[in-house]
Chain A
Amino acid sequence: MIPGQFSYHAPATLPQAIALLGEHGYDAKILSGGQSLIPLMRFRLAQPAHLVDINRIDGLAYVREEDGALRIGALAREADLDAEPLVHERYPLLADAIAVIADPLVRNLATVCGNVAHADPANDHPAVMLAYRAEVVAEGPSGRRVIPIDDFFVDTFVTALEPNEVLVELRIPAPKPGSGGAYQKLERKVGDYAIAGVAAQIVVGADGLISEAGVALTNVGPMPIRASEAEESLTGRHPNEKTFADAARLASDAADPVTDLRGPADYKRAVTRTLTARALQRAAERALS
């Protein structure tokens, strides 16, 4: 399958990329890892007239902890993060998700920021970023702005980014003492989208009670879903099986899946419930270890 024709631009700097996006507006798409965009173009589900390839811009492929946050640059590949011991040691929820995204070949090119910017509810990082309460840094013609993750996802494939903005960085708050997280995903086979996925991040305080909780769901609705009632139910309680079962029930209530080739809606709700309990259990083990 051959994509439609387009004009290719390979700017050397971010301001040049932003100027090109400003010039071409909604006719332009950013090409970073390309592992979602190019398949869409081959199917001609996307036919952008202009591609702005940001891969030639220096200084965007970083992942580092700085000023209380893990900062993930626009060109950091999934494989780059997987190779980073800091990610495994301090951000296990993120490391869990990376290991089950697509396959190892795709992960050599796919970027974390692109996974979020694409805003596909089937992508795994949106729920991860919701659970972490991450921030999105966008750069446009008038500079940078920081978008809280809860304001970022607007609709299926639609984000708060303006057509002339580039998602330049994701910021995950550095873990507090007693933090733990986990990602659980059920997929039919390697490389498939989730039947359902659950991201969980909790903080267990010195009193042994859960002081903060983030729970978010992958591919069980038109957008990534924050399970707010599940989060509220966890706060102030002991991290035990009963607490997690209650939260899992509330998370499955928050799911809004459709029946498709990956299964009936009721099944996906049941999977969400099971995966939520498992993700919280694993998060608690990590928080207490």
Chain B
Amino acid sequence: MQTLPVTVTVNGDEHTAEVEPRLLLVHFIRENLGLTGTHIGCDTTSCGACAILYDGKPIKSCTMFAVQANGHDLQTVEGLANGPTLHPIQDGFFQEHGLQCGFCTPGMMMVASALLEQNPAPTDLEIREAISGNLCRCTGYVNIVRSIQHAASAMRAEESVAAD
């Protein structure tokens, strides 16, 4: 059985492991690194519960082999909070009741973080397009959009304070 070394940076920390080529990135993140905030929903590239940032861009980590990620930078939901302080996106989901069962939430938040990085003032339609690869089977989309808008305005306010 072939195994290969994989070194990735996850939320700023470097990790190395020896893995089988067929190991999916999501399994690597959950089982080898113990970061279980990234979820496995559909296993068919449909739901986006496994969304992470790969070199800053949201991807479905169930649809990439861990060996492909060798040398790349990953961000997972565990990287959002700053110690006990919630990230504005997490706080937005808290304030606007953006989750019911919570299963899709990590993927939603990672997609939101990439969106707000690129577009600090998205329209509701732009948010809906950005999360169109993420399914919420509680169908709580209205509050998810509100949560991301809440985060966007909080982050814009932080930016303007920082700029002053």
Do the two chains bind? yes
A residues whose Cβ falls under 8 Å from a Cβ of B: 1-8, 10, 31, 34-35, 38-39, 41-42, 51, 53, 55, 79, 102-106, 108-109, 190-191
Stretch at the interface among B56-64, B74-82, B86-94: B56-64
A103, B133: Cβ atoms under 8 Å? yes
Stretch at the interface among B10-18, B41-49, B141-149, B153-161: B41-49
A109, B64: Cβ atoms under 8 Å? yes
A105, B21: Cβ atoms under 8 Å? no
B129, A104: Cβ atoms under 8 Å? yes
Query: Roughly how many angstroms separate A144 CA and B152 CA in the complex, as a whole number?
Result: 49
Q: How far is the CB of B158 from chain A (nearest CB, A)?
A: 25
B132, A3: Cβ atoms under 8 Å? no
Q: Write 11 A-B pairs (CB below 8 A) sorted by A numbering.
A: A6-B22, A8-B65, A34-B65, A39-B45, A53-B67, A102-B133, A103-B48, A105-B58, A105-B111, A106-B45, A191-B132
A104, B133: Cβ atoms under 8 Å? yes
B residues less than 8 Å from A1 (CB atoms): 43
Tell whether A104 pairs with B63 under 8 Å between CB atoms, given A7-B2, A7-B21, A79-B57: no
Total residues of chain B contacting the partner, CB 8 A: 31
A residues less than 8 Å from B32 (CB atoms): none
Task: Enumerate the 8 nearest inter-chain pairs by beta-carbon distance, A residue then B residue, closest first.
Answer: A103-B133, A8-B21, A105-B133, A190-B132, A108-B57, A3-B22, A38-B63, A39-B45
Q: How far is the CB of A12 from chain B (nearest CB, A)?
A: 13
Interface residues of B in 21-60 (CB under 8 A from A): 21-22, 24, 27, 43-46, 48, 51, 54, 57-60
A34, B2: Cβ atoms under 8 Å? no
B residues whose Cβ falls under 8 Å from a Cβ of A: 1-2, 4, 20-22, 24, 27, 43-46, 48, 51, 54, 57-60, 62-65, 67-68, 111, 129-130, 132-134
Q: How far is the CB of B24 from chain A (nearest CB, A)?
A: 8
B residues less than 8 Å from A102 (CB atoms): 133
Contacting A109 at CB < 8 Å: which of B63, B67, B111, B132? Answer: B63
B43, A105: Cβ atoms under 8 Å? no
Chain A residue with the shortest CB-CB distance to B21: A8
A5, B58: Cβ atoms under 8 Å? no
Contacting A6 at CB < 8 Å: which of B21, B51, B64, B129? Answer: B21
Q: How far is the CB of B90 from chain A (nearest CB, A)?
A: 20
A residues less than 8 Å from B2 (CB atoms): 5, 7-8
Chain B residue with the shortest CB-CB distance to A107: B133
B residues less than 8 Å from A4 (CB atoms): 22
Q: How far is the CB of B72 from chain A (nearest CB, A)?
A: 10
Contacting A35 at CB < 8 Å: which of B20, B45, B134? Answer: B45
